[in-house]
Each structure stands twice: as C-alpha cells, then as structure tokens.
Structure 1
C-alpha cells in the first residue's frame, strides 16, 4: 500500500533521470475505429508505429480476419463472445497465442466477439492489405 509521501516524478532505479510517465486511457469513452475488414472495429490501446500494437477488437457475428501469417507472436484474450480459427476456439476468459509463422483465418462466432489482441509485428495478409500498423491503421 502506498504511503502517499513520495512526490512524482519518481527517479528511475537504473539511470539518474526521472521515471517516464504512465499513459492512462479512458477506454470505455474512446471511439471505435472502423477497420478494413467488414464487421470489425477496434480501439488502439497502444501502437509504436513499427507494428507493435495492443488492440481491442469488436467483431460482429461471423466477421472474419482473412488469411494471414503472423511474423511474430500474437496473443489474444477473449472478453466476450466466441473467437475461432481452423485450430480451435476461445470463449470469454480464454486465451490463445500463436507463434511466428502461424497462418490462419480467424472469425467471430454467431454472437460476435470482443477480444484484446497483442501484436509484436505486422501480420502479412494473403491479399496484400496492411493492418495493425500505425501508418496503415484499420
């Protein structure tokens, strides 16, 4: 429990400089952004411009993320609904991670899905479209 006596900014432990500030987001009040995929909206929680991103994705029933290959590990936590691919399915509270090189199509079940996705590098899509990079967001 904090004692409330420390003044911000706190000093770093590994360098003689102030600790960088945390970034807090009011996610419920952030607008949903349309994506290039029909029936899929997102809220960008973090993006560094190189393809590393944390996205909240809202998928309508049956919405599909088309054939793509992961160039680095991808992590997905299901908050609501049903999230599937050819290898399996996740329900609320379940988690799936995919290694670099994993190639698949993913889609939402009949009730749709809300998922939190963490991407380290941009995916490569079979149709050539760009997604999950800051310069090509959506």
Structure 2
C-alpha cells in the first residue's frame, strides 16, 4: 500500500514521500525458476528501480550485464558468483559494465537498487 504525503504549501502533484509496505505486497514471479520479487520503486523513464528479491535454494540468475551501477544488500541467505559471496547483512555494489551469473545455493532474500535494468547475455 502506498500513501502520498504532500506538503501543505507544495503543489498538489508533488509528493513529499511515498510509503510502501512490502509485507502487504504479494511476491510476483520473475520468470526465473524459484525467483520472486516485490517492486518497491520503478521509474520506467530513467530505468531506476528498487526491488526486493526472494530466491529459493539452488536459484540462479543467468549471465547478465549491469549497464549502470547496481547495489545489493542481502537480508537472508547468500548471493554468490565467481568473485565471492554476499551473505546476510552484507552489501555488494557492481560498476557499470560488470557481468556475472549469480547463484543462491541456500536461498536468499535481498534488496537491489538498479540505475538501469540488467541485460541478459548469452552464456559464454
């Protein structure tokens, strides 16, 4: 559920904040086996988004590229690739142009901030 809070003296179309309650949102399938998401923020014009992901044990995010900065905070489980593992309570950011395949061997819940959506690539 989202609520707009508009300043009393601000134009009616300019919200001061949009409150989002992820607990009240349904998990939606991502199209990947065992992967679900809740889109907390999405701006199609810029490509920016904030997404809460849940991956079941053994879940894989296929080889992809981040065209812009990507930031991930892992809440539960681990998100792993050839560079290392981001575990519960840790954060990883990836610069524009970074490529990887991400795995969740034990499952994971993580929050991702995208500046642009990732591009799926053929496995090399």
TM-score, normalising length from structure 2? 0.85
Cross-structure match for 1:103 = 99
Shift of 1:11: 4.3
Alpha-carbon separation, structure 2, partners of 1:32 and 1:105: 23
Moved over 2 A (4+): 17-21
The one of 30, 41, 46 equivalent to 1:46 is 41
1:93 equivalent to 2:83? Answer no
Whichever of the two has the greater Rg, that structure is 1
Alpha-carbon separation, structure 2, partners of 1:117 and 1:76: 4
Does the residue aligned with 2:17 lie in a helix, a strand or coil?
A: coil
TM-score, normalising length from structure 1? 0.77
Shift of 1:101: 0.6
The one of 95, 114, 122 equivalent to 1:119 is 114
The one of 57, 77, 81 equivalent to 2:77 is 81
In structure 2, stretches of 5+ residues that fail to align are 1-5
Does the residue aligned with 1:77 lie in a helix, a strand or coil?
A: strand
The one of 1, 6, 9 equivalent to 2:7 is 9
The one of 65, 68, 87 equivalent to 2:61 is 65
Cross-structure match for 2:3 = none
Alpha-carbon separation, structure 2, partners of 1:125 and 1:22: 33
The one of 23, 26, 29 equivalent to 1:31 is 26
Q: Which has the higher strand share?
A: 2
